[in-house]
Amino acid sequence: MQQIRANDPLLKVLFPDGISEPSYKQSKIIGLMKKDTTFDGEGVKYVTVSIAPGAGGSSNMSEAIANQGSTQEVRFTLGRKKLYEVGSIDGELMAAGRSKKGAIVDVVRHALDKARYAYGRAQSRTIWGNGGGARGRIANGSNVATPTISLTNVSDAAGFFKGMWMQLSSDDGTGGAGVRDNGTKVQLGSIKRDSAGVASLTLASGNWNQIIGATAGATGDFIFRAGDYANVPTGVRGWNPEVEPGGSDSFLGINRGTAGDVNYLSGWRVSGAGQPKNQTLIDATAEIRNAGITRELMGFVNPLDLRDAFKDLSQLKVIPVQTDNPKVGYKGIELLGSAGSSTIFDEVDVPRGFCWFEDPKTWTQRSAGDVPMILDFDGIKTFLRNPLGDNYQFRFGGYYNNEQAEPGEAVIASFA
């Protein structure tokens, strides 16, 4: 029988393979990227990216000397962000579990497992976000004077759960508009994904216009989990956005549109122009070679796009890929293109319509401590008794951000 003693580290007892395992299972790029748990101190790191090796070159020595110049570099300012998950166990359930040998361990494990899964889903959502925190968007044609709206992208439904508190904004969290109606929030009552490819959200009570602050329609608004607006770790779509940054860009203190070389600072882009998706992926591997990228890049794509790209191919080779957790590994599809072979993975939180070719070795999750970890720095161990209710609360959290050391070593393919 498994027992928990008062001085045992609870998570080591219940989860000897690590508390972060669900995050690895939810996102392959999280599992493959490097981890640095020493991002402490003031929590600010400067990510220096070279956009040119210097101007001192020529076939004539005197010209080479005359042309010499310093290496052209920019410095992104990376700060820590926070991500939390709070759960609780009912007091009656705790008492009932004590009456049966070993049952209390199962009660605790079940509750912590659910919280670990929820944290993994949130972390996966942020790694494929741009740091703004948006989880979806209200589709055109939705009636905000009713409890139910549709999402513009059915795949975004994976980011919503019954009971979630939500807020709206006119931008995706990077534009500075803020949340609507002074931060009013509403609760999700149900979510439905139908066979016609439509995902709808229905509120637990009231209509969507109560959060908008007006009866006029606000289709196109972005939907956030309450508190997430402009406040989550920066992900792939921040470092390597689908749309090339322009003159109004502002990313971690840098305007990539005017800094000197937008591709070295944000990646390279390929448009499939509606051709078959497997051909767009092959075109992207050609762009890897054309951009002078010598790394072996891996492709990350939404499962529905992966289905479309490979369902008509009769011969596919599956490639096993191991992570730094010996209990977690992945399988990808080998794609042969101009840059040699690339492994393609499906990820549910990758926006549909795009494929990111990345080298996870250029990515580092930098954190102050483990991600996630039990927040028990006050020495009260794992659980806090709720003084206003009959339940015991536990808190997961992480203080971290994601660094892309070589943002120019990425290719973004658009299928449209």
pLDDT in tens, 171-209: 999 999 999 887 889 999 999 998 888 999 999 999 998
Decide if 245 is inside a domain. no
Residue 409: pLDDT over 50? yes
pTM: 0.90
Higher pLDDT: 65 or 407? It is: 407
pLDDT tens-digit map of 242-277: 999 999 999 999 999 999 899 999 999 999 999 999
Q: What is the CATH number of the domain that holds 410?
A: 3.30.2320
pLDDT of residue 214: 55
Same domain, 338 and 371: no
Distance CA 11, CA 14 (A): 5
Residue 224: pLDDT over 80? yes
pLDDT tens-digit map of 150-171: 999 998 999 999 999 999 999 9
Same domain, 293 and 221: no
| Other residues' Cβ atoms within 10 Å of the Cβ of residue 15 | 16
Domain range for 190 is 134-225
pLDDT tens-digit map of 304-321: 999 999 875 555 688 889
Average pLDDT along the chain:
87
Distance CA 233, CA 203 (A): 27
Distance CA 368, CA 354 (A): 32
Residue 285 CB partners (closer than 8 Å, separation 6+) = 335, 337, 338, 339, 340, 342, 357
| Other residues' Cβ atoms within 10 Å of the Cβ of residue 71 | 12
Nearest alpha-carbon partner for 164 in 125, 118, 130: 118
The pLDDT confidence band at residue 4, using thresholds 50, 70 and 90, is: very low
Nearest alpha-carbon partner for 176 in 211, 131, 210: 131
Q: Please state the domain count of the chain.
A: 3
pLDDT of residue 408: 96
Higher pLDDT: 65 or 47? It is: 47
pLDDT of residue 209: 86
Decide if 3 is inside a domain. no
Same domain, 294 and 410: yes
The pair of three-digit structure tokens given for residue 377, joined into one six-digit string: 């720095």
pLDDT of residue 130: 97
User: 373: helix, coil or strand?
Assistant: strand
The pair of three-digit structure tokens given for residue 186, joined into one six-digit string: 């509403």
Distance CA 235, CA 356 (A): 12
Decide if 262 is inside a domain. yes
pLDDT of residue 251: 97
The pLDDT confidence band at residue 54, using thresholds 50, 70 and 90, is: low
Q: What is the CATH number of the domain that holds 177?
A: 2.40.30
Same domain, 299 and 353: yes
Q: What is the DSSP string of 55-97?
A: S---SSHHHHHHH--PPEEEEEEEE-EEEEEEEEEEHHHHHHH
The pLDDT confidence band at residue 1, using thresholds 50, 70 and 90, is: very low
Decide if 230 is inside a domain. no
Instruction: Judge whether 68 and 54 are in contact, CB under 8 Å.
Output: yes
Cis peptide, bond prior to residue 407, ω within 30 of zero = no
pLDDT of residue 213: 66
Same domain, 43 and 147: no
Decide if 304 is inside a domain. yes
Same domain, 69 and 205: no
The pLDDT confidence band at residue 407, using thresholds 50, 70 and 90, is: very high
Same domain, 64 and 138: no
Decide if 319 is inside a domain. yes
Instruction: Judge whether 211 and 168 are in contact, CB under 8 Å.
Output: yes
Instruction: Judge whether 206 and 190 are in contact, CB under 8 Å.
Output: no
Decide if 213 is inside a domain. yes
Same domain, 282 and 410: yes
Q: What is the CATH number of the domain that holds 103?
A: 3.30.2400
pLDDT tens-digit map of 121-135: 999 999 999 999 999
Distance CA 261, CA 259 (A): 6
The pLDDT confidence band at residue 344, using thresholds 50, 70 and 90, is: very high
Mean pLDDT of 147-151: 96
